[in-house]
Structure 1
Amino acid sequence: MSRTAQESLSLTPGDSLGPFQLGSLLFNVLNHVRSYRSSYPSAKLAWDDENPSASPVHLTLTTPPLHLTFSPLSQRLTRIEVIGVSPASWVAYRGKPLSGDDPDDEDEDVVRTVRRIMGPTYGSSKVKGGVDGAGRCEEEMLSYPGVAFGVVRSDGGSAISRIVITPLPTPEDVPVDQAWLHPVLPDNPTVAKGDLRLAEIQLTSSRSPAIVRLNFHSSPDQRLPPVELKIGETTSEDILCELGSAIRTFWKEDDRLTIHTAFVDSSSPSANPALQPNPYFLSYPHLGLTLLLSSASTPHTLEKVILHSNLPGEVQFGRTTRAVWALVRDGERVGVEDGWKSVKAFLEAGANGTRRTPSPLATGSAGKKGKKGGVKEANVEDLLGVESASASPNERGEALGGRGDDKPMVLDRTAGEGRGGVKGKPTEIHGFPGIALEVTQSGDIETVWLF
């Protein structure tokens, strides 16, 4: 396909290709693809079904022919690869197409054009197996800072087989010509400014609610102080000032659990929760947060904090970004990257008043049930054909506050919802004092509910 420079994807080595910028959240990229379906008619998502929380997520587009790789924990774009028959014809650098003035000229040496446009470069390295992975076509990687070109040479000249864009700066211990193999994002990429970096959930030994400290990415010249959310104290005005307006606001409609507390004080009708105004949710899908506020008090106060993990393969995948969280108590911590067994042991130790040895950062494999794995694929139309804001969570587990060894509640988010054929795997809800966790069949934690 012949393309002009105006139609081509603009390349900024180490930073971006067209609308795709390194460091962008998977949630934002998926929203972009969904918003411009005419530009991206076909897309595929892939992940490791055995270990969805700690393995990369891959998004492959056919037009333009791109392969995007997102990091496991933060779900940020770490690598952009242009693939296909003639990848250079899709890319322009400073307004000049890499395929030359005439993309249909089969006799042109594309590598010569790249050197003329981008200048001299470092030494190249060869890749065994080449393009087809069977050793029939050896590939040479022509490397620049932040971008590398796969080159296939023949008697008639040379051709570009793929283009790989990776972040800058490159790791100190990695040679420049090998940096494309080791894409590492900076700790605080520019595109991340204002995004949630870490939600620290400070647990206390008493029965008082947990304190959630939201730490945000900031620019080097402006550090953003953490935002504290305190259940029963933080007001709607506080949330509006700190987090801005919610993307979506909706009333809590499921009041079935109020039957268990409806007659706490029969002498006072006002104490009947069934007679109180319904609370409402504030949804911040770009932060991975959903907040429940009471409307029975003045001012309205925070009742519940829900943190989403955005796990591939689950019903809620693609509706929010991932809120990276960590449970903290007495200098010890476990986080979203740890398995369910580690988190459960941490909570049980706190409930029993005992200390435990802090577990090292896990790879997410702890607590996983053995099953057939492999790579899971799904049509992006099926996964993205939902509202970008978080749907109202199922509230059947909201009153959980028992011990960790209680029988978990089974939750099927697709039961009776009529979601257009969307199917999901049931999850389990495990309750502890002031906290409930939704655990998937793979042993990962899908949501954390604090109340």
Structure 2
Amino acid sequence: MPSSPVRPGAARVGTSLLSVNETGVRKMLELHVVPEQLIGDDQWEFVLGMHFAQIVAILKSQATTIGNVKFIYNAQNPLLDDMVLDLVNDGIALFFCPRAQRLRRIEVYNMDKVVLKFNNTDYFNKRPQVTPTLSHISHVFGPTNPFVIKSENGRPILVMTFRGLCFIFPVDRTNDPQRQSEDGLNVVSYAQETAPVLSKMVVFSGLDLSANVLARLPLHCYVGNIYAEYVKVLRSGVHTTGLEVCVAYEPCGREDRGQTPERKVSVLRFGDSTQAIQSALGSPCKIHFKPDEKIYCLHAADPARNSYEDRPADYFYNYFTLGLDVVFDANCHTVKKFILHTNFPEHYDFELYHRCNFEVFLGSNGGSGSADALDLSSAGATASDTVSSAGASAAAATTASAGAMYAMADTPDVDPSSSSMVEFSMQQGMLVNSCTKWEEIVAFRGGHRSFSPIVVIRNDSTNANNLFGNSCCYCYQNIIFDTIRPSGHIATVTLYPSGS
């Protein structure tokens, strides 16, 4: 039996079905394999290092040939285990680093559901013509290190490892292999009629599968997009003034472009014009105009803020590959707010954006006081901007092409449990990033809970396909934190200037 794509003992919960296509007679996929790089066909490729959002876009574009895709993740602690896209009909599992959200390894766990070839000519599992025995795999891929016999789920397996490629064969306990000692090494050999048959293949980066190396994305996969290496929120005391954004992009205009992207650092501030933003970040992926206000009731006591009849709609620049939205005032056409997305599961906008790896420093005078911990009912218009950007994202992500919409984040694979991720200091302040939980911010404030959140519900007629639950928005030091349940992670961060 083929082994499960989820490793034994993993705390996997929250499985959801992303897409199903079961109509008609299905043709088996025929894929080429490139060790340490990819698997794919003539129309698409799954490349190690690709961002989760781009893989999803490819799957959507191939809905007629790839169906029944399951998304597996840890809902209680999304950073603990890899995210998995399981192509059930094809016996392929794609494992993503939960922090960087990029493709870490590819497993083919059912050799009867897919046809694989090497060098585009050598089929090594096309049954009944070719049976992927141990000797046949050795013939196709050549010599390698001595085989290793291990135990998986209490059963012995034989592991054949090449650079960036691993083959796993189940071993029959009643059929012990012949062993010959050569130069102190134990060499495993089988008779032709009893040779084990391939059950799993793994494409990974590096020399050792257990090292869990996260590959950098090749430049040819940038497809003209940019991504954010880091985003720093600029602060003056407890007030936000803007962003410092470092973007990476594919060099252009060179015959020999090398193997590394070029980088550019820009500073974006409240009040910047649309021209200044496009000069720094380029054209947005989409421009979205803010829909009608959904929370007029929060402004009923303020006639000046409640006169929306003749007011033009604010608009968003959506930068999906940066995990960033820029909100512009419709009258002045200047920056009004910034929205940063962490792309966690359990949020409505999941898989539409790349993760924005931001850092924001919260001042220490937040402490246990409530002066800068505001009830969102007094900032309703600001909270609505957090919700409004989602509509543009959903429409664009559905229609955008797989190759042109998404660039790949090139973020180092950092241990989420590392204490360096979130720094606490009641005297100096707190450093918040894309992996911080709201409860950690509450703890920094001394456990102070003097205000209620705004509950965001997306179950109306235009958002009927919401697979996840509601989220809660909290306001603290001129920042709105949109949090998700049950993990408590921050889904979006909305930044606005003081006094707005």
TM-score normalized with structure 2 length: 0.66
Quote the Cα distance in structure 2 between the aligned partners of 1:404 and 1:261.
29
**Does structure 2 retain, via aligned residues, the 8 Å contact 1:202–1:213?**
no
Quote the Cα distance in structure 2 between the aligned partners of 1:17 and 1:444.
33
The Cα shift of 1:445 comes to 0.4
Q: Which amino acid aligns with 1:285?
A: F
Runs of 5+ unmatched residues, structure 1: 171-175, 265-270, 369-402
1:422 paired residue number: 466
Task: Please point out which of 151, 154, 157 is paired with 1:128.
Answer: 151
SS state at 2:277 partner: helix
**Does structure 1 retain, via aligned residues, the 8 Å contact 2:226–2:321?**
no
Output one character per residue of 1:339-390: Cα deviation in whole Å (capped at 9) or x when no partner. Answer: 9xx97977xx6xxxx414779x99868949xxxxxxxxxxxxxxxxxxxxxx
Distance change >3 Å, CA 440–CA 337, structure 1 → 2: farther
Task: Find out whether 1:289 has 2:328 as its counterpart.
Answer: no
Task: Find out whether 1:149 has 2:167 as its counterpart.
Answer: yes
Task: Find out whether 1:355 has 2:428 as its counterpart.
Answer: yes
**Does structure 2 retain, via aligned residues, the 8 Å contact 1:337–1:362?**
no
SS state at 2:199 partner: strand
Q: Which amino acid aligns with 1:288?
A: G
Q: What percentage of residue pairs aligned between the two structures are identical?
A: 18
Distance change >3 Å, CA 232–CA 415, structure 1 → 2: same
1:316 paired residue number: 349
Distance change >3 Å, CA 315–CA 53, structure 1 → 2: farther
Quote the Cα distance in structure 2 between the aligned partners of 1:202 and 1:338.
26
Task: Please point out which of 99, 105, 108 is paired with 2:124.
Answer: 99
Task: Please point out which of 461, 479, 488 is paired with 1:443.
Answer: 488
Task: Find out whether 1:11 has 2:33 as its counterpart.
Answer: yes
The Cα shift of 1:206 comes to 5.8
Distance change >3 Å, CA 365–CA 200, structure 1 → 2: closer
**Does structure 2 retain, via aligned residues, the 8 Å contact 1:408–1:431?**
no
The Cα shift of 1:26 comes to 0.5
**Does structure 2 retain, via aligned residues, the 8 Å contact 1:25–1:75?**
yes
Task: Find out whether 1:263 has 2:281 as its counterpart.
Answer: no
The Cα shift of 1:405 comes to 4.7
Quote the Cα distance in structure 2 between the aligned partners of 1:336 and 1:432.
28
Quote the Cα distance in structure 1 between the aligned partners of 2:478 and 2:430.
23
Aligned residues: 376
Distance change >3 Å, CA 3–CA 157, structure 1 → 2: farther
SS state at 1:431 partner: strand
The Cα shift of 1:121 comes to 0.8
**Does structure 2 retain, via aligned residues, the 8 Å contact 1:306–1:450?**
yes
1:181 paired residue number: 210
Output one character per residue of 1:112-148: Cα deviation in whole Å (capped at 9) or x when no partner. Answer: 222222221112222203xxx242xx21110000010
SS state at 1:240 partner: helix
Instruction: Between 24-33 and 286-295, report the one with greater CA deviation.
Output: 286-295
Q: Which amino acid aligns with 2:122?
A: P
Q: Which amino acid aligns with 2:475?
A: G
Output one character per residue of 1:60-103: Cα deviation in whole Å (capped at 9) or x when no partner. Answer: 0023221000001110000100111437x621111133426x63
**Does structure 2 retain, via aligned residues, the 8 Å contact 1:250–1:281?**
yes
Task: Find out whether 1:83 has 2:115 as its counterpart.
Answer: no
Distance change >3 Å, CA 146–CA 281, structure 1 → 2: same
The Cα shift of 1:217 comes to 6.1
1:389 paired residue number: none
2:264 paired residue number: 225
Task: Find out whether 1:160 has 2:201 as its counterpart.
Answer: no
Task: Please point out which of 261, 277, 284 is paired with 1:239.
Answer: 277
Quote the Cα distance in structure 2 between the aligned partners of 1:161 and 1:336.
31
The Cα shift of 1:21 comes to 0.4
**Does structure 2 retain, via aligned residues, the 8 Å contact 1:307–1:449?**
yes
User: What is the aligned-residue RMSD (CA, Å)?
Assistant: 3.7
Output one character per residue of 1:244-297: Cα deviation in whole Å (capped at 9) or x when no partner. Answer: 332322221234366666538xxxxxx977654321112222322222111212
Quote the Cα distance in structure 1 between the aligned partners of 2:477 and 2:462.
33
**Does structure 2 retain, via aligned residues, the 8 Å contact 1:413–1:424?**
no
Runs of 5+ unmatched residues, structure 2: 1-24, 173-192, 251-257, 364-413, 441-446
Distance change >3 Å, CA 259–CA 274, structure 1 → 2: farther
**Does structure 1 retain, via aligned residues, the 8 Å contact 2:159–2:169?**
yes
The Cα shift of 1:198 comes to 2.1
Task: Find out whether 1:22 has 2:54 as its counterpart.
Answer: no
The Cα shift of 1:337 comes to 6.0
Q: Which amino acid aligns with 2:494?
A: W
**Does structure 2 retain, via aligned residues, the 8 Å contact 1:291–1:306?**
yes
**Does structure 1 retain, via aligned residues, the 8 Å contact 2:361–2:431?**
no
The Cα shift of 1:110 comes to 2.5
1:56 paired residue number: 82
Task: Please point out which of 215, 226, 231 is paired with 1:194.
Answer: 226
SS state at 1:225 partner: strand
SS state at 2:338 partner: strand
Quote the Cα distance in structure 2 between the aligned partners of 1:221 and 1:34.
29
Q: Which amino acid aligns with 2:170?
A: V
Distance change >3 Å, CA 365–CA 276, structure 1 → 2: closer
**Does structure 1 retain, via aligned residues, the 8 Å contact 2:344–2:491?**
yes
1:365-404 paired onto structure 2 within 5 Å: 367=439
Quote the Cα distance in structure 1 between the aligned partners of 2:50 and 2:301.
44
**Does structure 1 retain, via aligned residues, the 8 Å contact 2:342–2:492?**
yes
TM-score normalized with structure 1 length: 0.72
Quote the Cα distance in structure 2 between the aligned partners of 1:23 and 1:187.
5
Q: Which amino acid aligns with 1:289?
A: L
**Does structure 2 retain, via aligned residues, the 8 Å contact 1:287–1:320?**
yes
SS state at 1:319 partner: coil
Q: Which amino acid aligns with 1:205?
A: G
